[in-house]
Structure 1
């Protein structure tokens, strides 16, 4: 039986090879059988799930904070790559998504009562991992919404992270062709009307709906057909992890969290690597640049990932691999 994660990774073909899907079904799944799945209860009694791999010769820990609607099973390949570098790795399912408990009566609502709940959950998650991590070096790897959560966590709590890499962090969202000021006013009005008419009962933002599969050709997340189809198949095979569009409350809370990020940036004393997706159609680049200018650690930097859609960590090999190398190099340097 293979115990060295490098051996599973060495068998991986390129993502444009017809055997990639077979590798994911066999070798990647074999690695996943070594991963442990667990849960803990948040301060408000919400049950949160997570997965972790404890490397037998661990040189440190990488903790992953995923994006909106994401589940830790989507991070199988990345967790294997982290393990192949000699790290132990853990990934949380944020409240209201993945295998974690839902906050709304409708299980597909992308909902949260307060964005700070995400941040507090992450702080509790780090306490949950404390005995496993011990005195080992620890690093944060966060994507999109997870980047906003991780940034607010580092600004608000004592933490063990020596460095953090933020992949396409959610610091401002695309609203084109409508100006952001008009969209913000619309969100505030919609949130107010929902509170008045629905008694604050969670409801989808106008035009949003339950989880629906999108063809690869129409997707704006990744150029990798193999990884995209693999992730969509995972969600079809595990319908309990599916999440649809955001509610008014989620959108309002996220908008306020994004407004808070520039104010807390100078407080973060940890070196940050911000990976900016050049062709991102989900989050805007300008707020990421503004956030970067406010950071105080001299080793913090912003790196544009050429040709990438929003999901840098799920991109085609030619786009993704240099970004992954940059992340591990950044961790090594810190």
Structure 2
């Protein structure tokens, strides 16, 4: 039955992505200044890279979507770097150069915990790199205040994880940019939904290979070809991963009013993956003034890989500048580096 829908079983793999060759380089790319690993949830090795600016106005942390990795955003890193931002991108567990079974999950919280760990890691890195002044209270040393604004940019699945990071650990970021966040996906056929429920009961961690029609979500043929040739990309997914996404949506759906950072939401008008109209009630619940929302008609799911991606970037530029100009490290929400607000 699965083959009828272009889905086939795939052997479980802890593919050592860190051993793969780097994707091809394009003129619009900026090569990372350094790579690294940190131990995430359950000690899973999480790969990350940075594009450091010598005199940054802030840092943007990129959370990629399903089936891809942080190095697919080298052109975005260059665009941000040219505007004075340092950039970081971590590969989610099971994707890119990070460890873990490809496309598998043990609940949504592991992805959120990994991302929050990385956000704190980058806050500390900037505090050390930019020589944050020491702070002392009653003779006791305190963690330093953030030294620059930190913005999280989450795409699709990464957008869902980013929203949960903001909900549970708001101190780790000062603003959130979302491109096609996977809050509500297009409905799948009844037979596929039945197969997913069955696999969740009898074989939740058996990976399947999804059809790879990248042209449906990305209109730039250069990026489509690059994706197909990229050894760090894959289309493997387990029923447990699909359930983790559903779990994340259930966690969020009634809590939009608790999100208390500026949010820029960029939606694709020709999105065949995410249904932006199905999440209206969630966005309507946000506190007044928190959300800036734009629907880009004709663009496909991967806004930042679209032939018309400059339309999205033209909206991002003034939003980032406004956030940077209004950022205050002493504001109530600018909690100290290394602290936690929610378990």
Give the TM-score category using the shorter length.
Answer: 0.7 to 0.9
* Aligned 1:36-75 pairs, distance under 5 A: 36-75=34-73
TM-score, structure 1 as length reference? 0.78
Measure how far apart 1:166 and its partner are.
0.2
Looking at structure 2, the residues matched to 112 and 276 of structure 1 have their Cα atoms a distance apart, in angstroms, of: 26
Looking at structure 2, the residues matched to 126 and 188 of structure 1 have their Cα atoms a distance apart, in angstroms, of: 34
Give me the CA root mean square deviation. Answer: 2.2
Q: How many residues of Structure 1 are paired with residues of Structure 2 in the alignment?
A: 281
- 2:123 aligned with 1:130: yes
**Poorly superposed stretches of 4+, deviation over 6 Å:** none
Looking at structure 2, the residues matched to 332 and 80 of structure 1 have their Cα atoms a distance apart, in angstroms, of: 16
Q: Secondary structure at the match of 2:111?
A: helix
* Aligned 1:164-179 pairs, distance under 5 A: 164-175=176-187, 178=189
Mapped contact 1:277–1:305 kept (Cα < 8 A): yes
- 2:209 aligned with 1:209: yes
- 2:140 aligned with 1:151: no
Relative to 1, partners in 2 of residues 1:255 and 1:184: Cα closer, same or farther, differing over 3 Å?
farther
Measure how far apart 1:187 and its partner are.
3.5
**What CA deviation, in whole Å up to 9, does each residue of 1:249-268 have, x standing for no partner?**
00111112112222231111
Partner of 2:14: none
Q: Secondary structure at the match of 1:44?
A: helix
Mapped contact 2:107–2:243 kept (Cα < 8 A): no
Measure how far apart 1:186 and its partner are.
5.6
Mapped contact 1:279–1:309 kept (Cα < 8 A): yes
Looking at structure 1, the residues matched to 200 and 244 of structure 2 have their Cα atoms a distance apart, in angstroms, of: 10
Partner of 1:308: 299
Mapped contact 1:164–1:271 kept (Cα < 8 A): yes
TM-score, structure 2 as length reference? 0.76
Unaligned runs of 5+ in 1: 1-23, 104-108
Looking at structure 1, the residues matched to 37 and 236 of structure 2 have their Cα atoms a distance apart, in angstroms, of: 25
Looking at structure 2, the residues matched to 25 and 250 of structure 1 have their Cα atoms a distance apart, in angstroms, of: 31
* Aligned 1:1-334 pairs, distance under 5 A: 25=25, 27-28=27-28, 31-32=30-31, 34-103=32-101, 109-134=102-127, 135-175=147-187, 178=189, 187-192=196-201, 194=202, 198=203, 200=204, 202-204=205-207, 208-209=208-209, 214=213, 219-233=215-229, 235=230, 239=231, 241-316=232-307, 319-334=308-323
* More helix, by proportion: 1
Mapped contact 1:138–1:162 kept (Cα < 8 A): yes
Mapped contact 1:175–1:183 kept (Cα < 8 A): no
Looking at structure 2, the residues matched to 83 and 139 of structure 1 have their Cα atoms a distance apart, in angstroms, of: 14
Q: Secondary structure at the match of 2:255?
A: helix
Unaligned runs of 5+ in 2: 1-23, 128-146, 324-343
**What CA deviation, in whole Å up to 9, does each residue of 1:273-297 have, x standing for no partner?**
1111101001111233222111114
Relative to 1, partners in 2 of residues 1:260 and 1:332: Cα closer, same or farther, differing over 3 Å?
same
Measure how far apart 1:28 and its partner are.
4.5
Measure how far apart 1:170 and its partner are.
0.3
Looking at structure 2, the residues matched to 256 and 185 of structure 1 have their Cα atoms a distance apart, in angstroms, of: 18
